Amino acid sequence: MITIRLAKHWRIRRSEWLLALCTTALGVVYLLSPHLFDEPKWFTTMRSIMPQLWWGWLALGVGSMRLTVLFINGAWRASPHLRCVGAQVSCALWMTLFVSTISSEAIVQSVGFWALFFVFDAFSAIDAAGDARIEDEKARAARLGAESGDARRGC
Amino acid sequence: MHGAAAESFPEWIQYLFVGASAFAIFVGTVFTYIKKAIPARPGSDVTVVAAAFADKRTIEQLIEALDANTSSERRRTASLEEHSEATRQNTDALINMLVFIRRRAEQETPLRGGAHLQGE
């Protein structure tokens, strides 16, 4: 069932998969290179918000959560809600990276990536919010149907 | 803060930028959630969802409106039937009159244009 849904949604959610993988990869990189933020020229904004280790765990946690939710997408009612929250957190991460990069001593080539990641994750969050609404309405319709069925049967 | 670029971006502006963008995305998702239209296609389960989306009171109001509309349509149909009957009677009367005129004309044709007409 999950595999069928995955095959169906894969095409329309490729960018979401990519961004979830990027978030996870970023977390892995931050955790495996603990002295990355020690370089004074870079990561100024990120360093001033919280330590590298926390950023690493945050990115890894959110990325893993997004991948898991994308995998089980649809099979669990709350999955679009979690997709939406995950994309929003990732948006904040990309924007912090973008601001951190443009605030650094020299603009590096990755500055464009973070801005584009932010834009595409914003679209992902908005799409997921729409999916969440549809799932909620379906659940509500099912509940109303069950209630009216009980009323007809005199339960 | 380091370098020329950093000097032009004070810390508070950076935080503001990050915070404002995160807030904008949040507002965008909430707005999408609230305004998301449920597409209604006949025969799909989404139609059922759309129908069930209206709450109980709205459904009751809809039923009342439908009842009122049905009564109004029934009255209109009855009125149309009456009208139709009157029209049919009028048509019959007209046909009868035409038949009468024609018969009369057939009977009187041989005499037309002569003393008979003047006599009448």
The per-residue pLDDT for B119 is 45
Residue from B12, B17, B29 to probe the interface with A (highest A Cβ count within 10 Å): B29
Q: pLDDT tens digit string along B75-91?
A: 888 888 888 888 888 88
Identify which of A47, A100, A106, A95 has the alpha carbon closest to the alpha carbon of residue B5.
A106
Asked whether residue B58 carries a pLDDT value surpassing 50, the answer given is: yes
Q: Report the C-alpha gap between A98 and B119 in whole angstroms.
A: 116
Lowest pLDDT segment from A46-50, A151-155, B36-40:
A151-155
Q: Show residues of chain A in contact with B49, CB under 8 Å.
A: 134, 137-138, 140-141
Closest Cβ–Cβ partner in A91, A102, A105 for B22: A91
Q: Show residues of chain A in contact with B14, CB under 8 Å.
A: 45, 99-100, 103
Asked whether residue B120 carries a pLDDT value surpassing 50, the answer given is: no
B94: confidence class by pLDDT, cuts 50, 70, 90: confident
d(CA B80, nearest CA chain A) in Å: 39
Amino acid at site A151: A
Indicate yes or no: CB of B9 within 8 angstroms of CB of A129.
Answer: no
A6-28: average pLDDT: 87
Q: Which residue in chain B is spatially nearest to A148 when comparing CA positions? A: B56
Q: Report the C-alpha gap between A131 and A77 in whole angstroms.
A: 10
Q: Report the C-alpha gap between B95 and B93 in whole angstroms.
A: 5
B97: confidence class by pLDDT, cuts 50, 70, 90: confident
Alpha-helix runs per DSSP H in chain A: 2-10, 14-32, 44-49, 52-71, 79-102, 111-153
B44-68: average pLDDT: 65
Amino acid at site A127: D
Q: Report the C-alpha gap between A152 and A147 in whole angstroms.
A: 9
Q: Show residues of chain A in contact with B26, CB under 8 Å.
A: 88
Q: Report the C-alpha gap between A91 and A114 in whole angstroms.
A: 9
Asked whether residue B70 carries a pLDDT value surpassing 70, the answer given is: yes
Q: pLDDT tens digit string along A85-140?
A: 999 999 999 999 898 888 877 777 788 899 999 999 999 999 999 888 888 887 87
Q: Which residue in chain A is spatially nearest to B2 when comparing CA positions? A: A105
B50-73: average pLDDT: 72
Asked whether residue B7 carries a pLDDT value surpassing 80, the answer given is: no
Asked whether residue A25 carries a pLDDT value surpassing 90, the answer given is: yes
The per-residue pLDDT for A64 is 95
Helix axes A111-153, A79-102, angle to 10 degrees: 160
Q: Which residue in chain B is spatially nearest to A121 when comparing CA positions? A: B25
Sequence-distant (6+) residues with CB within 8 A of A73 are A5, A6, A9, A13, A79, A80, A83
Q: Report the C-alpha gap between A83 and A20 in whole angstroms.
A: 10
Q: Report the C-alpha gap between A87 and A123 in whole angstroms.
A: 9
Q: Show residues of chain B in contact with A145, CB under 8 Å.
A: 48, 52
Indicate yes or no: CB of B1 within 8 angstroms of CB of A44.
Answer: yes
Q: Report the C-alpha gap between A23 and A63 in whole angstroms.
A: 5
Residue from B32, B45, B60 to probe the interface with A (highest A Cβ count within 10 Å): B32
pTM of the model: 0.62
Asked whether residue A150 carries a pLDDT value surpassing 50, the answer given is: yes
Radius of gyration of chain B (CA): 41
B41-51: average pLDDT: 53
The per-residue pLDDT for B44 is 52
The per-residue pLDDT for B53 is 59
Amino acid at site B89: Q
Indicate yes or no: CB of A125 within 8 angstroms of CB of B21.
Answer: no
Indicate yes or no: CB of B11 within 8 angstroms of CB of A45.
Answer: yes
Q: Show residues of chain B in contact with A86, CB under 8 Å.
A: none
Identify which of B29, B27, B28, B1 has the alpha carbon closest to the alpha carbon of residue B14.
B1
B2: confidence class by pLDDT, cuts 50, 70, 90: very low
CB A76 within 8 A of CB A51: no
Q: pLDDT tens digit string along A44-78?
A: 788 888 889 999 999 999 999 999 998 887 677 77
B29-44: average pLDDT: 71
